[in-house]
Structure 1
Amino acid sequence: MICCLNPDCPNPQNPDGKKICQACSTPLVPLLRNRFRVIRVLSDEGGFGRTYLSEDIDKLNERCVVKQLAPKFQGTWSQKKAMELFAEEAKRLQELGEHPQIPTLSAYFEQDNCLYLVQQLINGDNLLRELQLRSHYRDWDIQSILLDLLPILKFIHDRGVIHRDIKPENIIRRQGDGRLILIDFGSSKQFTAKVQNKIGTSIGSHGYSPIEQLRDGQAYPSSDLFGLGATCFHLLTGISPFHLWMEHGYSWVANWQQYLHCPLTNELAQVLDKLLQKDIRQRYQSADEVIRDLTKNQRNLLSPATNSSVKKPKLRSVFVPKKYIFLRNLLLIVAVILVFGLGESGYRQYMRLQTGLPSSLSRPNYHSNSEAVLSQPPKIGWGNIALVNTLKGHDQSVLSVAISPDGKTIASTSDGLRPTGGDGLRPTGGDRIIKLWNLATGQQISSLSGNSQRVNVVIFSPDGKTLVSGGDDNTIKVWNLATGKQIRTLEGHSDSVHALAISPDAQTLVSGSDDNTIKIWNLTTGKQIRTLVGHTFWVRSVALSKDGVTLASGSFDKTIKLWNISKGKEIITLKGNTQTVTSVAFSPDGKTFASGSRVRFQHDGGDGLRPTGGERTIKLWDLATGKETRILAGHANTVTSIAFSPDGKILASGSRDRTIKLWNLATVEEITTLEGHTNTVTSLAFSPDGKTLVSGSEDNTIKIWRLS
């Protein structure tokens, strides 16, 4: 079938081969932008456009969503506002789509006087539909929902974005792994933005949006948190906040508990009460504050003596048991074991287990034929590993860390803005300043300033004389470490630079960018040598072999490419990954390279979950043959960074599961798991002697680990 793209067509489905729509006589478009095959209508936006289920033929007919904007009333304020919001959604998805719980943007374009936005298809029901199917939620369900959504809100708020329309319809529970996905960024704005309100119009949803947003057109992180509280209220009571708002205005939030069917724990009730405060000054101001209150009572139960940063590999997989009541009992037992036996990190492991289960497990009539299976951890030891220092000088997420060739200095860069103390924001310098630290003492030595936008990556030259950085201003800067002065700026990329590598002789620089290209530079002169084109999406990781001849690049297009950089030719494309490639690294001997990728889960055929490559997040490849040789399995979430030890015996991997794993490459076994970070581990670096590992994280810290 071929679908008519006229938003007013009463019957858009047509047989294949037709050139004119049988219902409205509009010319049919076989492929949008020669790439997207529209299959059928998913929803109708009342003449302003439609949302279609489509196939991306460039990605082996992968299913996607195409949103169309075709406003009827040209030149009107409504049409102008619709176009503005449509473009805003594309912009926000481009900025935020790297998060695994936000849909990825595939394309944004104009064709035949219509605007189109193409994004990742999320299979699953939104929470409103889920509520209709299950009729009610209990307090443990709400806590799981909060702990799944709050990190997403922290992610977008840290990047200066307010969603402004948090409600059950805009939250989808992904069918594959039960995680919650935040959609519809058409109303999102920067912190400081104000809505130009018109009579009869508003941005947001009545009942879910707070008073400062609907009345004054102002939105802040706490505005999204009000919407989150209203969403939880709706799920708990089955009563729409919109209906209460129509009858009572905002007065209902003062006595919201009278609508409850079942009592809540005092702790959860207090959290929801603070989320639903009408006065913004009395409300939570950040997602971090809510997370702390949700977990503080559990943390008080922990014994300090058991809260260790270094742990042996724990239970790896739990499949759904036969009956609902057995599952709940099993989770309680696991909770007691993890919390009292493993400390705070054990509690986090329990929450990941509970939150990751599909919502259907909470239904009273739930049944399953799967058995509960606990895998046995490998029994491997590796000397003594200790956390020796935590550097807390950054105000926001640490994006990149590097260690100088002499092993004395750490370079780091971070992300974001922070509040002024009022309702505005000011730069912290963390998004533009590179910090230099003394590795031995942990003291900050100096900082390098001069970047106009966020710095994403830093790297030392092999001779230790220069530092190179890449950032969101599309440029690369080269710094003289002796003077702390900028030597030059390299311009040529048309989008953010996220990946850098330098040849062993310190003569050649390689950069990877969100413009889908790789550029080769003469580091001494700053001249561009050539551009490597071949990836179809962001290039987020590059690495050079020991001889400086072979380049490996990893991309969001799910491929790894090997290049001969002296000739500027692609050697081979490795397509064994089913998910985004997040990191690549060469072994010191140059014979092997490793890649890290995102996680993916799917149903096991019953009501349980199994990894579809989610555990297979690190792959080892033979450089000579380009063949996959080994798989390192163990992380519970996306691998974000990998690093080989200087002797090539250990591979370190950091992940969104907040842990670092060390792997014995001789036996292909996990050595140990390092725990201590409270958010995603973003970057790893070994010291030249291999005795120290440095890690950066979205928890705003740098940790120094001593290996022996």
Structure 2
Amino acid sequence: MYPRKLIAVMLCCLNPACKNPSHPDDTNFCSNCGTPLLLLRNRYHPIKLIGAGGFGRTYLAEDIDKLNEKCVIKQFARQTRGTYALKKAKDLFEQEARQLQKLGEYPQIPRLLAYFEDNSCLYMVQEFIDGENLLSELKQEGIFGEQKIRDLLQDLLNILQIVHEHKIVHRDIKPDNIVRRSSDRKLVLIDFGASKQLMTTVMPEHGTAIGSMGYVPMEQIEAGEAYPASDLYSLGATCFHLLSGILPWEAWKREGYSWVKCWRKYLQQPLSQELGLFIDKLLRQNYKQRYQSAEIALQELIKLPLNSSQPGEFFFSGNQPYLSQESSQESVTRTLEPSYVNSNSINSNSINSNSINSNSINSNSINPNSISSPSLQPGIPTREIISPSNFQSMLSSSLLEAPAAVSTSNNLPSLHSLALPKQSSKVKQGLTVVGIFILLSLGIYGIWSKNKETSPSVQKAETSLSSTVPSEEIVLVKTLTGHDSRIKSMVISPDSETLISASTDNTIHIWHIPTGKLEKKIANRNSHVRSIAISPDGNTLVSAHDDNKIDIWYLPTGKLVTSLNGHNSDIFSVIISEDGRTLASGSENDIKVWELATGKLQTTLKGHFAPLKSIALSPDGQTIVSASANKIKVWDLSTGELKTTIPQEAGIYSLAIAPDSRTLISVDFNGHVHRWKLKTGVLKHTLADRRDTVLSVFISQDGNTLVTGGPNNQIKIRNLRTGDLRTISTDHPDDVKSVAIAPDGKTLISGNKDETIKIWRIP
């Protein structure tokens, strides 16, 4: 340190133990501790204490070499004894600083300006972000709406993708560590736990906080472990806080860890089902069941429909949340008080250390006594002080079952479409062009109809079907109601008499197709049913659940025969072979093959690094096909050998194999229906008849008819021999999530997000 220069502002004492560090500019020594008041490195002028904790302090400062440009100084006081421990701490600090220097090249992360050691303390100087954090924004503008949360998620997931690529875990994501920069309104992630690796040698004193309670996942609380998925949990908890105005810690104190299963009841406005399920997966108790990277989460977020017409199945609708609106507002106000440092990450700049509204700086606004001797009151803390004596009892009362599982929606706008609201004039021009195009198309269609030209066959790759057959011959027979949530999966019995439907309302319904009567309703436990399959003899039903289990039912009685365990994450798809001997199930990134009669696990196939979306078994029993976000894999069922991998430009949502076992059908998020040679993986045709996601696909037993369902309430029926296309407007108010054709070829079933099932008669 060097003698200070005369500057007509406040000057802070840099003694980490000083309880009254702020002094006027004409003071040469600290009146509290006697420490000389000096500039740091004869350059950095600390003007305000903005954060403090067990490992040091954070100051707002000015860089006099840059015309008094504001910056943030993080000070890490020596907490170790012994030469080796101190050297190790210093090495780790420098290593982390270099990582942050790389991160600082990203515009939504504060730049690292300097790091050094001075007077037995370690220092890091970072860029100051002028703006308001989201906690302040919440207080001033009220709870966030859905679109605002979606925008936040997209920004933060992009930032976290960069952070995690550099092998850094933030560990303390919460509203007050996310700043909306005044200059461009961009979100900036601040308060990186630069010294989190110091925990290997530097241990906090007993009673020091171990994270921002409520935002911190169990693995970080219980074992001090942190993964990229840990940051995603904190991001989910942040979304809850901003949507509800209620601290996650308040919900935790009320519900224990099971708050992550019932968080919707605290909301004061509807939330779309898709976004709710997305947040569900961020909040999974088991980190292995969350999205495993920000990249995967971002891909799933982009797939969500822009504007869901139906609110989520769980939302605030009359039952008062735990905290009333008044107390919720009070909680928001309280959280603005000084919070305390996470000793896992040693975030000594815990109070917006990189971000302060420069117009509101008040050097007397911090009470150093409250910083060094915090006292917690019920309902207040953004961070809770936990000692070994009270932590174990709190943890034991909070170790509850895992949260409800997630099924991500797949109505997929592009990144460009997410930005449309900001380009309204261009959008209007685009819509005008589209309108003219539609009018021209209608005119051409009229000429085509008049001349009665015959329709051409399906074109080769990347061409569209050019003929459309009117759908008046396809008649709606019945609309079935009874489920309380969206339809996830449907199967039809071999005799074409029985329909089985599965829903996220945790039930399976068994219907008589000719009469539309609900014959049975079965449910085993409180878990969403993700997929169902029926055996060729019609006696066995298999259901996959979001609690990682498979149930096997005797269909004539609706009785549960057994449950299969073995998956470690949600099961997305189940299918039974044509001979009724083999059951296959697909989860996050593996496929399990079972002997259906005994429930014995035969093999596990691994090779996907993104969640599986669909699996299919060839009718000849030789091949199993699996699809994830960007790959299709073809396996030999008998040996488990990977035969071929087919890269994809867009994520695959569903698969089907033709009865001849020679053709594979895949549908993707861009609306393409691909036909592949199953044996070689060579593309035969691409049917690009829509620009929206295709959500479901089904091939008739004779192999001649292909049915797809998707957005815009439409079902498309193709004749694979002639290329003829029929389009049905279903009158469903939302997307068609599931389609099936009865074995007799005379009945088409469609299931929807609006909880209804429609039965159609095909001539």
TM-score band by shorter chain is 0.5 to 0.7
Letter in 1 for 2:619: K
Q: Could you tell me which of 209, 215, 223 is aligned with 1:85?
A: 215
Mapped pair 1:695 → 2:750: yes
List aligned pairs for 1:149-164, cutoff 5 A: 153-156=272-275
Q: Could you tell me which of 689, 695, 702 is aligned with 1:640?
A: 695
TM-score using structure 1 length: 0.53
SS at match of 1:359: helix
Query: Cα distance, 1:380 vs. partner?
Result: 2.7
Residues 592 and 360 (structure 1), Cα distance of their counterparts in 2 relative to 1, 3 Å cut:
same
How far apart, in 1, do the equivalents of 2:603 and 2:615 lie?
Answer: 15
Which runs of 5 or more structure 1 residues have no equivalent in the other structure?
A: 1-6, 13-19, 91-107, 121-149, 165-171, 183-187, 197-208, 218-351, 416-429, 599-613
Query: Cα distance, 1:163 vs. partner?
Result: 12
Query: Cα deviations across residues 82-139 of structure 1 (Å, max 9, x unaligned)?
Result: 353254999xxxxxxxxxxxxxxxxx9726x99644999xxxxxxxxxxxxxxxxxxx
Mapped pair 1:590 → 2:661: yes
Which runs of 5 or more structure 2 residues have no equivalent in the other structure?
A: 1-56, 59-70, 75-88, 113-123, 128-155, 172-191, 197-203, 236-268, 284-297, 309-313, 333-413, 446-465
Query: Cα distance, 1:571 vs. partner?
Result: 0.7
Mapped pair 1:620 → 2:675: yes
SS at match of 1:688: coil
Letter in 2 for 1:394: H
Partner of 2:510: 436
Mapped pair 1:673 → 2:728: yes
How far apart, in 2, do the equivalents of 1:512 and 1:64 lie?
Answer: 31
Residues 178 and 453 (structure 1), Cα distance of their counterparts in 2 relative to 1, 3 Å cut:
closer
Partner of 1:40: 106
Residues 656 and 24 (structure 1), Cα distance of their counterparts in 2 relative to 1, 3 Å cut:
same
How far apart, in 2, do the equivalents of 1:77 and 1:114 lie?
Answer: 26
Partner of 1:408: 497
SS at match of 1:213: helix
Aligned-residue CA RMSD (Å): 5.3
Letter in 2 for 1:595: S
How far apart, in 1, do the equivalents of 2:750 and 2:552 lie?
Answer: 23
Residues 363 and 436 (structure 1), Cα distance of their counterparts in 2 relative to 1, 3 Å cut:
same
User: If each structure's strand is expressed as a fraction of its own residues, which one has the higher value?
Assistant: 1
Partner of 2:713: 658
SS at match of 1:542: strand
Partner of 1:538: 611
Question: Relative contact order (alpha carbons < 8 A, sep ≥ 6): 1 or 2 greater?
Answer: 2
Residues 56 and 548 (structure 1), Cα distance of their counterparts in 2 relative to 1, 3 Å cut:
farther
TM-score using structure 2 length: 0.50
Partner of 2:639: 567
- 8 Å Cα contact 1:404/1:410 also seen in 2: yes
List aligned pairs for 1:472-551, cutoff 5 A: 472-514=546-588, 516-551=589-624
- 8 Å Cα contact 2:469/2:724 also seen in 1: no
Query: Cα distance, 1:592 vs. partner?
Result: 0.6
Query: Cα distance, 1:437 vs. partner?
Result: 0.3
Query: Cα distance, 1:67 vs. partner?
Result: 6.6
Q: Could you tell me which of 355, 358, 363 is aligned with 2:420?
A: 358
Query: Cα deviations across residues 316-339 of structure 1 (Å, max 9, x unaligned)?
Result: xxxxxxxxxxxxxxxxxxxxxxxx
Q: Could you tell me which of 77, 90, 94 is aligned with 1:25?
A: 94
SS at match of 2:519: strand
SS at match of 1:374: helix
Q: Could you tell me which of 454, 462, 470 is aligned with 2:528?
A: 454
Query: Cα distance, 1:656 vs. partner?
Result: 3.5
Query: Cα distance, 1:179 vs. partner?
Result: 7.6
Letter in 1 for 2:214: E
Partner of 1:100: none
Letter in 1 for 2:272: L
Query: Cα distance, 1:657 vs. partner?
Result: 3.4
Letter in 2 for 1:585: A
Q: Percent identity at matched positions?
A: 29
How far apart, in 2, do the equivalents of 1:666 and 1:369 lie?
Answer: 35
- Larger Rg: 1 or 2? 2
Letter in 2 for 1:643: F
Residues 501 and 11 (structure 1), Cα distance of their counterparts in 2 relative to 1, 3 Å cut:
farther
Query: Cα distance, 1:53 vs. partner?
Result: 5.8
- 8 Å Cα contact 1:66/1:118 also seen in 2: no
How far apart, in 1, do the equivalents of 2:304 and 2:544 lie?
Answer: 36
Letter in 1 for 2:94: S
- The count of residues paired between Structure 1 and Structure 2 equals 449
Residues 369 and 403 (structure 1), Cα distance of their counterparts in 2 relative to 1, 3 Å cut:
closer
Query: Cα deviations across residues 346-365 of structure 1 (Å, max 9, x unaligned)?
Result: xxxxxx9xx98922553599
Letter in 2 for 1:498: F
How far apart, in 1, do the equivalents of 2:301 and 2:520 lie?
Answer: 48
Partner of 1:244: none
Residues 195 and 684 (structure 1), Cα distance of their counterparts in 2 relative to 1, 3 Å cut:
same
Query: Cα distance, 1:469 vs. partner?
Result: 0.5
Letter in 1 for 2:664: F
SS at match of 2:544: strand
List aligned pairs for 1:116-265, cutoff 5 A: 116-117=231-232, 153-156=272-275, 210-211=325-326, 213-215=328-330
How far apart, in 1, do the equivalents of 2:493 and 2:321 lie?
Answer: 45
